[in-house]
Structure 1
Amino acid sequence: MQATRSRTTDPAHDVLRYDHQPLKAIFSPQTVAVIGATEKPNSVGRTLLWNLIRNPFGGTVFPINPKRSNVLGIKAYPSIGEVPETVDLAIIITPAPTVPDIVRQCVEAGVKGAIILSAGFKEIGPKGVELEQQILEYARQSTMRIIGPNCLGLMNPLTGLNATFASAMAIPGSVGFISQSGALCTSILDWSFQENVGFSAFVSIGSMLDVGWGDLIYYLGNDPNTKSIVIYMESIGDARSFLSAAREVALTKPIIVIKAGRTEAAAKAAASHTGALAGSDDVLDAAFRRCGVLRVYHIAHLFSLSELLGKQPRPKGPRLTILTNAGGPGVLTTDTLLIEGGTLAQLSSETTKALNQVLPPQWSHSNPIDILGDADPERYAKAFEIAVKDPNGDGLLVILTPQAMTDPTQTAEQLKFLAMQDHKKPILASWMGGAEVAAGAKILNQANIATFSYPDTAVRMFNYMWRYTYNLRGLYETPTFAASEDNLSTLETAKHLIDKVHSQGRSLLTEFESKELLALYGIPVVDTRMASRVEEALAAAEAIGYPVALKLLSETITHKTDVGGVKLNLTSAEEVQAAYEAIASSVAEKVGPEHFQGVTVQEMLKLDGYELIIGSSLDPQFGPVLLFGTGGQLVEVFKDRILALPPLNTTLARRMMEQTKIYKALLGVRGRPPVDMDALEQLMVRFSHIVVEQPWIKEIDINPLVASEDRLVALDARVVLHDPDTPEDQLSKPAIRPYPQQYVTYWVSQKEIPITIRPIRPEDEPMAVKFHESLSEESVYLRYAHLIKLSSRTGHEPMSRLCFIDYDREMALVAEYTNPETHERQIIGLGRLSKVYGSNEAEFSLLVADSFQRQGVGTQLLEQLLYIGRQEKLTSIMAEILTDNRVMQHICEKIGFTLNRVIGEPMVRAEIQLSD
């Protein structure tokens, strides 16, 4: 049976994991060396050593100081190499110039992890950068990982490890906190004591010389004691690593970020409309949306939201029901809800009827549900029971103001038991007031009902929760369209076009060339013809048919309208000739005749449609960024646009459009028919493929793209390339790895059946479900080492996590067969390669449909996985195979794997070395 089990966590199934955590030595060390330990009062070296010994963490501490025989009564050693035991964690507190050599000594001594608290590195300029490079060179000679430099250190409150120079130890809890600011760490720590917030980890990450956001997100994501991850961020660092880790972890644990620098000047605008509209903070928002991270804007909201997500289910929609005993707070709360993106739920007729039965006639008869100022606990309870069951509401907020007839404590007691039922929607409360409502608020909090002093704060939290749901849902909704894998000819033709422009020493494509590029990717363009003489313009106009438009043809001018280079609605030869001469004259007068290479003659479309803009420009951190919004000449005035990271699929394209004002118009408004949204989604997907597949493109936009009921057409397009002298390794790469087209192969089975072997796509989910439905129990058992019910394997969540991969951390291949009679495509085999976290090794898994076994499919999949492993510079690939699975063992041996029995388990370990 050609099936094997990988012990890496399979995104589709709950499988075992190797205990391979390179940061474990830092978070849970058994031996700690303090290099720079001292007894100098109020010094970092003394404070840190004292923190380690006064908070027992179950390990041994070794002070390192060449000038002392002991520090604080503990035997000291002159260097790390003279410590009698292998050190898990070295904490370095010496002057910056000494650190590289100390790191070298740590590597030679086999130290597993280091925290560099010292400052004086890249923050001081070139000298500091050089020191960092020296440190990295030494560290890369081993598997040692480094946090810092210029950081506070870290705490593991659950074990008692305090490897910081902070004045107190954090309270144990379930929040993993990471901060780029050591000063903010100490402030948060002080605040947490007052609010009784506990932490599973408390990390000051410093300048991220080695360990970055992605490493820590992965670590905390795998930590069973961490329920949520809270981040204070100043810079993104390795964008691809952050996005990859966050996207994987966010589905199971909320990641909440506050980012400093919102008011920094936006990234320098490029010459295009897209560049002018794309500010760096907006790009960061787009990145967070893409990976399911929730961004907040107030420090207090970080932990309130973390607590709330731990207590209450996420809302399934934006509709909130408000229950209150005071009209004023209800109205003010509604204002906040709507202004900040939420929706007021419309009460169903059944809910209104039920409320009429239990409330006084004067109740509001709408949402907010005002149950009046004399509401007693019983009235609150009855109204709550009805309101929480309303199918139109996605969440419920209960507001109480202390009035003469109000009993805040008893009302809380009544609601406590009702709210503890599984309503599958979040329940929030705002007991407004001070000492009078404190007891009631405490009762609600103890019942896991998040309680806020002010209702506007509560609705902000609800809106945050909905945004989090919305972002996550967008990650794993199954798309409906993907561009063909067989587009190598398109890639080559587009590359040839770009090479031709570069060979002429140009970086700006003409409008005609820009449209030619779009057309190669299936984006419809208006009929456009070049004319370098007036006679050619007249002939082109006659061929196209009047009316026509004339536009400047220039290899240097960015915006044609700025130099009088656009003439529209020309209805005769005389008008065309006059327009040609006017454009030539205007360009010569304003910028010089050398910028005039003629005109393009275009069909003057009479489309009753909407003008849109689709574009891309570069962000220094995230690479290419896509833009969509309202287009036309006033694009920068209206600024109705949204950004996203490429590549897109149809789900992401629709999500992108939903966040613009023009989206509602595109769906049809005031009797106007809707635009073909499916076609628009597919166009945006194709556009995103241009951006990720043609790295020489620096800026590109279509403005306007006219969208009407029956047609989409690019009226104007502009493409700017990188300078031809730019080294290829300096071209910007997408922060999210695009579909790896280079790994698509074609193969013929032993029974002469043509098979396509290619990386999996999100659109494959329906075929993946059918594949699993075809498997026998024996195949399932041999793959997973235990039987898994079909429903557990084929639900949307496990299937989407199988099909939605980032191609960076893992690679999944499908063997696809097309039935020649029915022309139905089906998956007949799945192969997966998953990197072992923190290493350059990977594990493979393999599964072949029963009806296609013993035809070489498994062998071919595994051969292709090995090829990919070599291309991705992996050092080794491994898996564990049941001893009963003789066929898989034979395949592995035939390909070159070595097999070894796993002691204590009915398993054989297969491993192959790919490189040294």
Structure 2
Amino acid sequence: HTHSIVIYMESIGDARSFLSAAREVALTKPMIVIKAGRTPQAAEAAVCHTGTLAGRDAVLDAAFRRCGVLRVDQISDLFDLAEVLAKQTRRPQGQRLTIITNAGGPGVLATDALVATGGELATLSAETLATLNQCLPSHWSHRNPIDILEDADPDRYTHAIQGAMHDPNSDGLLVILSPQAMTNPTQTAERLQQLAKSAPKPVLASWMGGADVTQGEMILNQAGIATYRYPDAASRLFNAMGRYSYTLQALYETPALVDDGGHSRDRSDRAVIAGLVDQALAEGRSLLTELEAKAMLRAYGIPAVESSLATTAAAAMAQAERLGWPVVVKLVSPTLTHKRQVAGVRLNLCCGEAVEAAFADIATTITSQYGPEAFTGVTVQPMVQRQQGIELILGSSLDPQFGPVIVFGAGGSQVQLLQDSAVALPPLNTTLARRLIERTRLYPILTSHGDFDLAELERLLVRLSQLVIEQPRIKALDINPLLFTPASPGLIALDARIQLHPPELDLAQLPRPAIRPYPSQYIKAWQLRDGTPVTLRPIRPEDEPLIVQFHHSLSEESVYFRYFHLMALNHRIAHDRLTRICFIDYDREMALVADRHDPISGQHQILAVGRLSKCHGLNQAEFALLVSDAQQHQGLGSELLKQLIQVGRDEGLAAITADILRQNRAMQRVCEKLGFRLTRSPDGTRAELRLP
């Protein structure tokens, strides 16, 4: 009987547990939160710019977006949104609103509120305009808001609603009624009640006039049409509905696969990264040098401009000659973080004399002001021309409650002045990366120039989130600037800073990521009985197209044994259903797939799926297996179940169970072979394995 959940919140105890529970509920029941204490407190200055950009309130907003929770600022909005989301089963696909009104003033006020909160007026299509011209007086507004004039009766409202309701340019409809001489609020409400039943988009109403419109309001509310006394409130709530839909779409939109997800990073890359960290800590440094930071970025597929270390002026001139003119000379210091702030950067040097002078000037300035220990040399790198590019900042910081946080925004030397950034919780996929980019003022600039490769920027953000998740020793990371150009090189890091946690810090004491990362520890190479190599690995959101192909390979018998009834293919491969199969919370369930890679075509094929779902309130889980018909009798089902049992042990479960059809003898034999106790009854077989 619960339709919406409203929460007054002062704090979150276990961030991961809250987000995990919220994600499970949000797809079926709206959750609206009002959080007290929004005003930020003064914070310590962070070593990296990103530490100051990722304010606690912004991180909380990012956490709510990640789990599909809608945040509001006012108590009235809390309950109004709960009502409208419970009543409206249709969600707007965008924030374009069509307004129908019999008075100009309320229409203008509704438009102001709509635009001020991020929405826009729908542009009426030519077909809609033609229809309205036929059924409305000649002096109607001929634009949105659709002003049908003060003498509008129920018939005119009906014609206007019918004419505008199916406009493809609109995501929702707001009908405003203000009492006039010819107005009949009750009859108009009855007409709207009937029309709304067939509306393909959400319909809201604003019945103005107090006691004169009470009967009409009652009719609309009883019909499940969210109705408000003031049209500006209706516009704001429509936008909130649009944000809610947008957030859910981002959570369950199938992303593109980035490389292999980073899960087969070769040993040489891992050795490079481990060596960089170990060397810095052994030397008592918490800051990586620029060269070390860029090497780590390259190991994760993030391009960085070539840089060379020079500890003497002669070496700096030699490196400049090798790289070609012009060049940049930058300070290398184990203690000073922001080179520009201490006059540690010289740009556009075009000759050896200029490089020699720059080296001497930086060395003198730094040693005199900060001591000789602050200067260990310079780096020399090519001067990358920035005229056609945009400078970005990417980075991460550590939130004490939500763990690692990714920051993206406008970069360069004026980053603090621009204050254009957005934050997100890792791990990211390409869809979540795009949503992060969209939340900055930079986004319209990037999209207005079609030559910028936004897909590559998304992939780079995904790789950055992999780096942050896989390297917990990193305390803060700052890529500024990351140059983004329409032509080659496209994306390249010009400068980078990485700060490490001190070696004496136990990493177990750090806040864990608020979203459980991909459990790569459960990846295993294996062979079928016929020698075919496969990879057993956890499922991921990018697998949805492969799962669709997998279901095409199943017989009716396999489907019946798995689901206990027949299920049509179009239902099994529906996106709404596959979101629950592929977009899983690894804290609540684990699904393993058998992935076969064709080395010739480069294509992947899923041969089997095994799932372990935790039972609510119990420290146990149920398993389910489904193997492609063509791959049965290859030992695949037994091996997948073995891996699920090991996952159960690793996750600390007390027992694993399953319900099996009486006819499914093969599954029963597999369970018996692996130590399950079977309890047979006329209704089926219960399998149970107690885990030590």
1:458 aligned to 2:234? yes
Instruction: Report the secondary structure of 2:229's partner residue.
Output: coil
TM-score under structure 1 length normalisation: 0.74
Structure 1 residues 343 and 889: alpha-carbon distance in aligned structure 2, compared to 1, 3 A threshold: same
- Partner residue of 1:910? 687
Q: Counterpart in 1 of 2:76?
A: 300
User: How many residues are treated as equivalent by the alignment?
Assistant: 685
| 1:399 paired residue number | 176
Offset at residue 266 of structure 1 (A): 5.7
Structure 1 residue 285 corresponds to structure 2 residue 64: no
Q: Deviations over 1:698-747 (max 9, x none)?
A: 10011111111131000011111111110121123211011111111101
| Partner-residue secondary structure (3-state), 2:465 | helix
Contact 2:262 2:463 in 1 (8 A): no
- Matched with 2:334 is 555
Is the contact between residue 250 and residue 292 of structure 1 (CA under 8 Å) also seen in structure 2? Answer: yes
What letter is aligned with 1:254? P
Of residues 407, 418, 432, the one that matches 1:652 is: 432
1:267 deviation in Å?
Answer: 4.9
Verify: 1:581 aligned to 2:357, yes or no: no
Taking the aligned partners of 2:627 and 2:133, their CA distance within structure 1 comes to 61
The alpha-carbon deviation at position 820 of structure 1 amounts to 4.9
Residue in structure 2 matched with residue 699 of structure 1 by the alignment: 476
In 2 relative to 1, CA 602–891 (structure 1 residues): closer, same or farther, beyond 3 Å? same
- On the 8 A contact 1:347/1:392 being kept in 2, the answer is yes
* From 486, 489, 492, the counterpart of 2:264: 486
| Residues 488/729 of structure 1: CA separation in 2 closer, same or farther (3 Å cut) | farther
Of residues 22, 41, 56, the one that matches 1:246 is 22
- 1:444-455 counterparts in 2 under 5 A? 444-455=220-231
Aligned to 1:614: 394
Which residue in the other structure is 2:138 paired with?
361
Map of 1:343 onto structure 2: 120
Whether the 8 Å contact between 1:495 and 1:694 is mirrored in structure 2 is no
Once the two structures are superposed, what CA deviation does each residue of 1:860-910 show, in whole Å capped at 9, x if it has no partner? 111111111111122211111112111111111112212112x451x2111
SS of the aligned residue for 2:6 comes to strand
- CA–CA separation in structure 1 for the residues paired with 2:502 and 2:17: 28
The unaligned stretches of length 5 or more in structure 2 are none
- Which residue identity does 2:107 align to in structure 1? G
Tell me what 1:80 maps to: none
1:787 — aligned with what?
566
Equivalent-residue separation in structure 1 for 2:142 and 2:369 (angstroms)? 67
Residues 652 and 415 of structure 1, relative CA distance in 2, 3 Å threshold: same
**Equivalent residue of 1:667, what SS?**
helix
1:488-527 to structure 2, matched below 5 A, reads 489=267, 490-527=269-306
Distance 2:669 2:117 in 1: 61
Give the equivalent residue in structure 1 for 2:406: 626
Q: CA offset at residue 403 of structure 1?
A: 2.2
- Deviation of the 1:268 alpha carbon: 3.9
Report the equivalent of 1:664.
444
Distance in 2, matches of 1:522 and 1:725, equals 30
The CA distance in 1 between the partners of 2:556 and 2:118, in whole Å, is 48
Rounded Cα–Cα distance in structure 2 between residues aligned with 1:606 and 1:270: 30
Which whole-Å CA distance do the structure 2 matches of 1:759 and 1:346 have between them? 45
- Distance, in Å, in 2 between the alignment partners of 1:859 and 1:535 is 66
CA displacement at 1:432 relative to structure 2: 1.5
Shift of the alpha carbon at 1:484? Answer: 3.6
CA distance change for structure 1 residues 269 and 488 in 2, over 3 Å: closer, same or farther? farther
Q: Distance in 2 between matches of 1:590 and 1:725?
A: 30
Separation (CA, whole Å) in 2 of partners of 1:563 and 1:729: 36
Q: Which residue of 2 aligns with 1:744?
A: 523
Which letter does structure 1 place at the counterpart of 2:169? N
Range with bigger deviation, 527-536 or 685-694: 527-536
> CA separation in 1, counterparts of 2:643 and 2:500?
34
- Deviates further, 401-410 or 534-543: 401-410
Give the 5 Å matches for 1:165-176: none
Query: C-alpha deviations, 1:297-330, integer Å up to 9, x for none?
Result: 1111112111111212211111100111111221
What are the ranges of 5 or more consecutive residues in structure 1 without an aligned counterpart?
1-224
2:419 is aligned, of 612, 619, 639, to 639
Superposed displacement of residue 636, structure 1: 1.2
8 Å Cα contact 2:401/2:511 also seen in 1: no
Secondary structure of 1:383's match? Answer: helix
Residue 677 of structure 2 aligns with an amino acid whose one-letter code is T
Residue aligning to 1:327: 104
Identify which of 628, 633, 640 aligns with 1:854.
633
CA drift of 1:806 comes to: 2.1
SS of the residue aligned with 2:448?
coil
Does the aligned pair in 1 maintain the 2:91–2:242 contact within 8 Å? Answer: yes
2:7 to 201, 215, 231: 231
Secondary structure of 1:429's aligned partner:
strand
SS of the residue 1:256 aligns to: strand
Aligned partners of 2:634, 2:91: CA distance in 1, in Å? 47
Cα distance between partner residues in 2 of 1:450 and 1:346: 23
The 5-angstrom pairing of residues 523-538 of structure 1 reads 523-538=302-317
Residues 227 and 435 (structure 1), Cα distance of their counterparts in 2 relative to 1, 3 Å cut: same
For 1:600-628, what per-residue CA distance to the aligned partner results, in whole angstroms no more than 9, with x for missing partners? 11111114211111111011110011111
AA partner of residue 57 (structure 2): D
User: Equivalent residue of 1:613, what SS?
Assistant: strand
**C-alpha separation in 2, matches of 1:439 and 1:267:** 54
**Residue deviations 1:560-612 (CA, integer Å, cap 9, x gap):** 11110011101110111111111111212322221011111111111421111
C-alpha contact (below 8 Å) 1:695/1:732 kept by paired residues:
no
Distance (whole Å) between structure 2 residues aligned to residue 892 and residue 594 of structure 1: 66
Seen in structure 2, the aligned counterparts of structure 1 residues 427 and 854 have a Cα distance that, compared at 3 Å, is same
Question: Is the Cα contact below 8 Å between 1:570 and 1:576 reproduced in 2?
Answer: yes
TM-score, normalised relative to structure 2: 0.97
Contact 2:6-2:33 at 8 Å conserved across structures:
yes
1:428 has 2:204 as partner: yes
1:727 is matched by which residue type in structure 2? D
Which amino acid counterpart does residue 663 of structure 2 have in structure 1? Answer: D
Q: 2:505 aligns with which of 721, 726, 731?
A: 726
For 1:362, what is the secondary structure of its paired residue? coil
**Aligned position for 1:207:** none
Of the candidates 241, 245, 249, which is equivalent to residue 469 of structure 1? 245
User: In the alignment, is residue 438 of structure 1 matched against residue 198 of structure 2?
Assistant: no
Contact 1:511 1:553 in 2 (8 A): yes
Deviations 1:104-144 (A, max 9, x none): xxxxxxxxxxxxxxxxxxxxxxxxxxxxxxxxxxxxxxxxx
Deviation at 1:356, TM superposition (A): 1.0
CA contact (8 A) 1:266 1:281 kept: no
Task: Give the aligned residue type for 1:322.
Answer: I
Q: Distance in 2 between matches of 1:838 and 1:499?
A: 43
Are 2:496 and 1:717 aligned?
yes
CA contact (8 A) 2:327 2:381 kept: yes
Counterpart of 1:863? 642
Alpha-carbon distance, 1:668 to partner: 3.1
- Looking at structure 2, the residues matched to 413 and 779 of structure 1 have their Cα atoms a distance apart, in angstroms, of 51
Q: Distance in 1 between matches of 2:39 and 2:172?
A: 33
Contact (CA 8 Å) 1:833, 1:842: kept in 2 or not?
yes
Shift of 1:821: 4.9
Mapped to 1, the partners of 2:295 and 2:536 lie a distance apart of 31
More divergent stretch after superposition (891-900 vs 287-296): 891-900
Q: How many angstroms does 1:824 deviate by? A: 2.3
Residues 147-158 of structure 1 aligned to structure 2 (within 5 Å): none
- Which letter maps to 1:650? T
Q: What does residue range 886-905 of structure 1 map to in structure 2 within 5 Å? A: 886-901=665-680, 903-905=681-683
For the aligned residues, what is the CA RMSD?
1.3
Contact kept in structure 1, 2:40 and 2:55, CA below 8 Å = no
